[in-house]
Amino acid sequence: MENPFLVAVVTVVIIAASAFFVAVEFALMAAKKHRLEDAAATSRSARAALRSSSELTVLLAGSQLGITISVLALGATTKPAVHHWLTPLFEDWGVALWLADVAGFVLALIVVTFLHLVVGEMAPKSWAIAHPERSATLLAIPMRGFMWLTRPLLRALNESANWCLRRVGVDPTDEMGAGQDTAGLRELVEHSANVGALDASYSTQLSGALELETLTLGDLLRATVPTAVPEGARVRDVQAASRRTGHLRILVGPPERPVGVVHVRDTLDEDEAGPIAPLARPVLSLPSTTTVYAALARMRESSNQLAVVTEPADPDRVRGLVTIADLLTRLFPLRAEPVPVPATT
């Protein structure tokens, strides 16, 4: 290829292709999946990026294949052309033919390697890492097209790599792990507190939050008889029970097997002699083995401020009650001393 303009165009195209595959690889590695999920509601490109992140090993195989092809193409076109131009130049300077050929080869290799490393790899890598979600979204659709065209080859390459990993005892995965696990975060908090990088009060609060994944409702309850009124009780009975105990939510039915719960607020505009059955709401029941973290999620999803804690072996037998306020006491120990969650409300 002796036409300098044609060589320049081909070189730019090859380096641009290499930069594209490098940027795709690092963008999907650095992008936060939850941000892509937020953008996927309104962006087709974000949905494409999200699909690629769910089959990361295939995408990486595609990126590596594209980079390899680009490197080989650059070595097959640009490098020989630059070598061909430089060798006569050195000969004109009076250098021996063999030495001119060697000098042209080395200099051509340096020029091509510099262009590929700096322009085709390092620059797009830095851009993708600096703007991961933006670059992943921008490049997702053309990369999906390349993966569609080469998917049989990519799957074969990926399966071959996975086979090699299994032979050495490594379990391959298609998705990147998201963040730290609870144990890692707990160790990080403890270390930060020990070296003085984290105030002790904040360390206590963060440790309490991390405990919510393992701390169960049964660990917090203490034996107490819940406040309840009979199924046939009247509004006055609920109000009297609230005044006597200070609780706003009163169980309806036997304390061991309640059939509903009524908030005293709902009785304020009712006739004192009226029945409470129309005011009662279904009871949210959670086994005592439920973690505090899961309990908070269930109560939020069901819009319940109170949950009945039951025995795992006997779902109809009530051990006690918990409220959102009780659970948040464990989450924010700076605002309230951590105390066992009362079994009544």
Domain positions in the chain are 4-167, 180-210, 212-331
The pLDDT assigned to 17 comes to: 92
pTM given for the model: 0.52
Averaged pLDDT, 101-120? 84
Residues 15-66: tens digit of each pLDDT: 999 999 999 988 888 888 778 887 877 888 888 888 888 888 888 888 989 9
Q: Which residues contact 193 (CB under 8 A, 6 or more apart)?
A: 199, 200, 203
- In terms of phi and psi (left: phi > 0; alpha: psi -120 to 50; beta: otherwise), the region of 284 is beta
Amino acid at residue number 221: L
**Beta bridge pairs of residue 216:** 291
Q: pLDDT band for position 278 (50/70/90)?
A: confident
Q: How many CB atoms lie within 10 A of CB 228?
A: 22
Residues 287-299: tens digit of each pLDDT: 888 887 788 788 8
The pLDDT assigned to 13 comes to: 92
Averaged pLDDT, 268-274? 83
Q: Which residues contact 167 (CB under 8 A, 6 or more apart)?
A: none
User: In angstroms, rounded to a whole number, what is the distance separating the alpha carbons of residues 302 and 284?
Assistant: 8
Alpha helices in the chain (DSSP H): 4-30, 33-40, 44-54, 56-92, 97-114, 123-130, 132-167, 182-194, 200-211, 217-220, 235-245, 292-301, 324-331
Handedness of CA 34, 37, 42, 47 (dihedral sign): positive
Indicate if the pLDDT at residue 300 is higher than 50: yes
Residues 157-216: tens digit of each pLDDT: 888 888 888 888 877 766 555 455 556 666 666 666 676 666 666 666 666 666 666 777
Average of per-residue pLDDT values in the chain:
78
Indicate if the pLDDT at residue 225 is higher than 60: yes
Residues 103 and 90: beta-carbon distance below 8 Å: yes
Q: How many CB atoms lie within 10 A of CB 307?
A: 26
User: In angstroms, rounded to a whole number, what is the distance separating the alpha carbons of residues 100 and 22?
Assistant: 35
C-alpha distances in angstroms, 73 versus 50, 60, 84? 30, 20, 17
Q: Which residues contact 341 (CB under 8 A, 6 or more apart)?
A: 217, 220, 221, 222, 320, 322, 326, 327, 329, 330
Picking from 20, 209, 4, 234, the residue whose alpha carbon sits closest to that of residue 127 is 20
C-alpha distances in angstroms, 235 versus 12, 67, 241, 266? 82, 76, 10, 9
Averaged pLDDT, 287-312? 80
Q: Could you give the percent of the chain with pLDDT greater than 90?
A: 6
Q: Which CATH class is domain 212-331?
A: alpha beta
The pLDDT assigned to 344 comes to: 47
Task: Name the maximum alpha-carbon separation found in the chain.
Answer: 117
